[in-house]
């Protein structure tokens, strides 16, 4: 399998490019508009043909590359079925499997960070990795105080859906702010300070008292992302 992790410094976003091997069809997860040229370079140099671009959710901190990638490559732009982005070409439902030249990604509905967040499990028959967006992060979890976020739903998505995956499933979130690049489900069960040894009530209390400032780009990014990033300047 061919796998690349990209990082956008401005928003600390991770983007993932996956294909079965060099020269094959590829899928990209959570692309950032400002990094589209870099993705296209990698795609060209590896002889890939991008056929799917997925956003795990409507991001509030950066503008998506979904629309640009669709215009440049003709790929499908994909989000979960509850997205308010009218521009996507395809909406996936809970449990649906996307097959890209043998690379299988199963969509799992994991609300909490936003009401429309999905995670994607690589090789769902014997899970290898999960792309969790901002629902479950490395030693943290995505804030739940805007975009119809809900700490109780976040707890349920993480503990019932994501923690049901095997412990050795690699965790690839959409962001990291401390330099971690990946984790595993087992690690987060044991060491995530918001979750390990906590009750649902304690988690809700923690999330309701984070007192975080709004993301700098929130007022720009959310409306732009509802148009797949194409209306942004």
Residues lying near Fe ion in the complex (CB under 5 A): 59, 134
- As measured in angstroms, the least distance from the Cβ of 212 to Fe ion is 12
Closer to Fe ion by CB, 68 or 134: give it.
Answer: 134
Distance separating alpha carbons of residues 219 and 214, to the nearest angstrom:
9
Closest residue to bound Fe ion by CB: 134
Could you tell me if 231 and 194 are in contact, meaning their C-beta atoms sit under 8 angstroms apart? no
Closer to Fe ion by CB, 68 or 116: give it.
Answer: 116
Could you tell me if 154 and 144 are in contact, meaning their C-beta atoms sit under 8 angstroms apart? yes
- As measured in angstroms, the least distance from the Cβ of 133 to Fe ion is 7
- As measured in angstroms, the least distance from the Cβ of 98 to Fe ion is 21
Closer to Fe ion by CB, 54 or 103: give it.
Answer: 54
Distance separating alpha carbons of residues 142 and 117, to the nearest angstrom:
11
Closer to Fe ion by CB, 49 or 139: give it.
Answer: 139
- As measured in angstroms, the least distance from the Cβ of 218 to Fe ion is 10
CA distances from 108 to 8, 11, 122, 149 (A): 25, 25, 11, 17
- As measured in angstroms, the least distance from the Cβ of 21 to Fe ion is 31
Q: Nearest Cα to 14, choosing from 169, 168, 138?
A: 138
Backbone phi and psi for residue 74, each to the nearest 5 degrees, phi listed first: 80, 10
Measured from the Cβ of residue 89, the count of other Cβ atoms closer than 10 Å reads 14
Closer to Fe ion by CB, 73 or 183: give it.
Answer: 183
CA 97 to centroid of chain Cα atoms: 16
- As measured in angstroms, the least distance from the Cβ of 131 to Fe ion is 13
Closer to Fe ion by CB, 24 or 59: give it.
Answer: 59
> If you ran DSSP here, which 8-state letter would residue 212 be given?
P
CA 218 to centroid of chain Cα atoms: 17
């Amino acid at each position: 399998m061919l796998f690349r992790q990209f990082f956008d410094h401005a928003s600390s976003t991770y983007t993932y490019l996956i294909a079965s091997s060099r020269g094959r069809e590829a899928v990209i997860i959570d692309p950032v508009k400002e990094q589209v040229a870099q993705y296209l370079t990698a795609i060209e140099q590896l002889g890939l043909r991008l056929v799917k671009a997925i956003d795990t959710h409507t991001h509030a901190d950066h503008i998506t590359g979904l629309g640009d990638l669709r215009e440049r490559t003709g790929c499908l732009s994909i989000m979960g079925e509850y997205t308010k982005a009218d521009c996507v070409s395809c909406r996936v439902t809970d449990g649906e499997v996307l097959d890209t030249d043998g690379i299988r990604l199963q969509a799992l509905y994991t609300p909490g960070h936003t009401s429309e967040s999905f995670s994607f499990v690589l090789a769902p028959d014997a899970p290898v990795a999960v792309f969790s967006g901002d629902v479950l992060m490395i030693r943290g979890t995505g804030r739940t105080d805007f975009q119809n976020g809900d700490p109780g739903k976040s707890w349920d998505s993480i503990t019932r859906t994501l923690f049901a995956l095997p412990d050795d499933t690699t965790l690839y979130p959409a962001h990291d702010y401390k330099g971690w690049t990946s984790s595993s489900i087992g690690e987060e069960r044991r060491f995530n300070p918001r979750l390990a040894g906590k009750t649902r009530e304690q988690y809700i209390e923690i999330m309701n008292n984070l007192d975080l400032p709004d993301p700098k780009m929130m007022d720009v990014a959310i409306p732009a992302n509802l148009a797949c990033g194409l209306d942004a300047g």
